[in-house]
């Protein structure tokens, strides 16, 4: 079963300490049902100095969130909405907003 959320979609957090925050999807990890959202669920990680982080120290980065805690925000009505999947006559798969009917790829 697919996640229904793709990279660069806008999502809103439904539960937890970050509830109500919106952000852009950076990465989708379908095997674990987890999604990384820009600016949401920030953690602090202690890093040793290496080629990427010359100085080392405490790095802040986004942590994955389970997909059940997120909902897609419709680009047209700008509200969180469930999405439906359809297959066109030519065989192309599309996603659509169940509130306003807006079609996205």
94 with 86: CB under 8 angstroms? Answer: yes
As beta bridge partners, residue 25 has: 37
pLDDT band at 4 (very low <50, low <70, confident <90, very high): confident
Domain boundaries, the chain: 10-104
Per the structure block, which two tokens stand in for 12?
Answer: 């809103």
pLDDT in tens, 13-64: 999 899 999 999 999 999 999 999 999 999 999 999 988 878 889 989 999 9
Say which CATH topology domain 10-104 has: SH3 type barrels. (2.30.30)
- pLDDT number for residue 1: 46
2 with 9: CB under 8 angstroms? Answer: no
Integer Cα distance of 70 and 64 in angstroms: 11
Q: What percent of the chain has pLDDT over 90?
A: 52
Q: Model's pTM, two decimal places?
A: 0.83
């Amino acid at each position: 079963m697919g996640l229904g959320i793709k990279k660069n979609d806008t999502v809103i957090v439904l539960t937890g300490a970050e509830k109500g925050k919106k952000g852009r999807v950076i990465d989708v990890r379908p095997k674990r049902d987890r999604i990384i959202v820009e600016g949401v669920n920030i953690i602090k990680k202690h890093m040793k100095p290496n080629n990427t982080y010359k100085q080392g120290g405490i790095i802040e980065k986004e942590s994955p969130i389970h997909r059940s805690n997120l909902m897609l925000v419709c680009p047209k009505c700008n509200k969180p909405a469930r999405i439906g999947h359809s297959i066109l006559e030519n065989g192309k798969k599309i996603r659509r907003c169940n509130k306003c009917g807006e079609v996205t790829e």
